[in-house]
Amino acid sequence: MDLQLSGRVAVVTGASKGIGLAITRTLAEEGAHVVAVSRTRSDEWPDKVVHVAADLMDPEAPARVVARAVEEFGGVDILVNNAGGPPPGVTLPRMGFMTPDDDDWRAMFEFNLFSAVRMIRAAVPVMVERGGGSIVNVSSTLSKQPGATNVDYGAAKAALSHVGKAVSEEYGPQGVRVNTVTPGAVLTDWWTKEGGAAEVFAGLAGSDKESVISEVAPAMMKLATGRLIYPQEIADAVALLVSPRSGSTTGAEFVIDGGQLKEL
């Protein structure tokens, strides 16, 4: 299926690994001009990808990113706010409401909410000038399933989902679509890296890293598929959502969680 993305200009944040890497490669393979935003370059990007080194904890970074996209390609048609998760230097999961202090909450919201808000603020005027565009925000099932683990992260992602619906309502008449993709547990280095979530849960469960990834975590989250999600599965959904083939889809949320969430 032709997604009609050839020649369109896409900005992808958090583009160097995991979900962001899969999205960057997929959009580039579909013919889009991709501006990949990350603190470090990835050797796994297609050659034509333009890297903009940026730390999105810097409030000035989003405007510089959009300006670079305009300089390189004349505008922005697609924005994927994928950057998120643990702020630099932070390890999740973090257990208990009392564990994160004020600075932890500020950093979590800065990275998972405010960076996306600023990216949207920078990109929307450029999109409107070009006659429209598409934004996808990457959230988390923790935004919909509150609990004692990663409370600050879930709260930030819930706020991001709210922002997406609000912006879609305001700018839909001007041709800007905004949707949210809500992944469950995705098999990225958030889980697999040394000291990552799999090792943390292994310590709590008296298990080992490999067993957590293959058995313990899917069982704990009651995943109907019995496995964690592959990054490409998220990327495929994002590519369809930013495509003109999804031209009537806005203000929507797409949950890709392996059957984790059970509520109607």
| pLDDT score recorded for residue 207 | 86
245/251 Cα distance (integer angstroms): 16
Question: In this predicted model, what pLDDT tens digit does every residue of 1-39 receive, in sequence order?
Answer: 899 999 999 999 999 999 999 999 999 999 999 999 999
Answer yes or no: is pLDDT of 204 > 80: no
| pLDDT score recorded for residue 222 | 95
Answer yes or no: is pLDDT of 187 > 80: yes
Choice between 232 and 149, residue whose per-residue pLDDT is larger:
232
| pLDDT score recorded for residue 205 | 79
What value does the mean pLDDT take over residues 231-239?
98
Answer yes or no: is pLDDT of 122 > 90: yes
Question: In this predicted model, what pLDDT tens digit does every residue of 75-108 receive, in sequence order?
Answer: 999 999 999 999 988 888 889 999 999 999 999 9
- Please give the model's pTM, rounded to 2 decimal places: 0.95
Contacts for 80 with CB less than 8 Å, ≥ 6 apart: 10, 11, 12, 13, 20, 23, 27, 135, 136, 138, 238, 242
Answer yes or no: is pLDDT of 143 > 80: yes
Structure tokens at 34: 């991709």
Provide, rounded to the nearest whole percent, the portion of the chain with pLDDT above 90. 85
69/169 Cα distance (integer angstroms): 25
Write down the CATH number for the domain with range 9-186+230-256.
3.40.50.720
Query: What is the radius of gyration, based on Cα positions, of the chain?
Result: 18
217/17 Cα distance (integer angstroms): 21
Indicate which residue of 45, 73, 109, 153 is catalytic.
153
Active site residue 230: no
Cβ–Cβ < 8 Å for 85, 92: yes
> Domain extents for the chain?
9-186+230-256, 187-228
Contacts for 133 with CB less than 8 Å, ≥ 6 apart: 76, 77, 78, 79, 123, 124, 126, 127, 175, 176, 177
